[in-house]
Amino acid sequence: MEDYQLLIELHKAGQRQGPGGDEESAKALDMALLDGSQPLHVADIGCGTGASTLVLARRLNARITAVDFLQDFLDLLAEKAKGAGLSQQIQPLCCSMDALPFGDQEFDLIWSEGAIYNIGFERGISDWRRYLKVGGMLVVSEITWTTASRPLEIQRHWEREYPEINVASAKMQQLEKQGYAPMGYFVLPENCWRDNYYRPMQKRFPAFLERHGHSNEAQAIVAAETEEIELYEKYKAYYSYGVYIAKKLD
């Protein structure tokens, strides 16, 4: 089995595929001043198995296009939506976020949790802007330095993994330059990483290794995830996901 198939298998069993939380998604919606009072057209880009999509479907009066490039994740999302009686509101779309088939000004809200880094924040906020109506809202979470300086080990790690990592003020400036008005920002708290993402994943490690006969590939995946978790525990004072809420200007 290819490595990425194993990775998909490990991650699809999780409630979410990255740090986040239902309460935090709801908080971002409140900061975007969005509720169920008006019909909205929403895109959730890099939705995974749909943790945020379901929050949006419950809280908004919305038609939601849920985009991911992994059909396995979308199939699970469709099942969950059906179980929650929310299928009517959610349209899964298997597509890469750098080749979206959307028209200009289709959406009132573009949402993306823990996913824009796949094409980079700068490119994502620029490319996706045209799909938003004027006055529409963009809500994205993005890996962010939470202090002005940090130890060299973590600085080097993130520069290798994601050179676009920066402080929130720099991300806000990028938003402003790209024609958005930042409306709010908050940092994902530790429980979003630990309780909602890392701990449940760690609990799945033994069965995952067992299913794959402790193959080298499976062990390598567990080792890489464990290293990521250890780095987080050591350096969590210096980075997190920032959640950015911004309005598209004319």
Q: Position of tokens 């198995």?
A: 49
Kindly list the distances between the CA atom of residue 159 and the CA atoms of 21, 115, 146, 162, 164, in Å, as whole numbers in the listed order.
Answer: 26, 17, 15, 5, 8
∠ at Cα 106 (104, 107), nearest 5°? 125
What gap in Å lies between CA 86 and CA 63, rounded to an integer?
10
Tell me how far, at minimum, the Cβ of 213 lies from ligand SAM, in Å.
Answer: 26
Question: CB 24 → ligand SAM: shortest distance, Å?
Answer: 10
Does 100 participate in binding ligand SAM (rule CB under 6 A)? no
Residue 114 engages ligand SAM in binding (rule: CB under 6 A) = yes
- Mark the segment that binds ligand SAM (CB under 6 A) among 12-20, 132-140, 154-162, 210-218: 12-20
- 53-72: which residues touch ligand SAM (CB under 6 A)? 67-70
Nearer to ligand SAM (CB atom), residue 52 or residue 174: 52
Binding-site residue total for ligand SAM (CB under 6 A)? 21
Instruction: Please say whether the beta carbons of 110 and 125 come within 8 A.
Output: no
Q: Is residue 52 within the footprint of ligand SAM (CB under 6 A)?
A: yes
For residue 80, state whether it binds ligand SAM (rule: CB under 6 A).
no
By CB under 6 A, tell whether 225 contacts ligand SAM. no
E runs forming strands in 96-167: 107-112, 132-145, 166-167
**Helix 216-235 vs helix 199-211: angle between axes, to the nearest 10 degrees?**
170
Is 124 a binding residue for ligand SAM by CB under 6 A? The answer is no
What is the three-class DSSP state of 219? Answer: helix
Residues that bind ligand SAM (CB under 6 A): 16-18, 20, 46-48, 51-52, 67-70, 73, 96-98, 113-115, 118
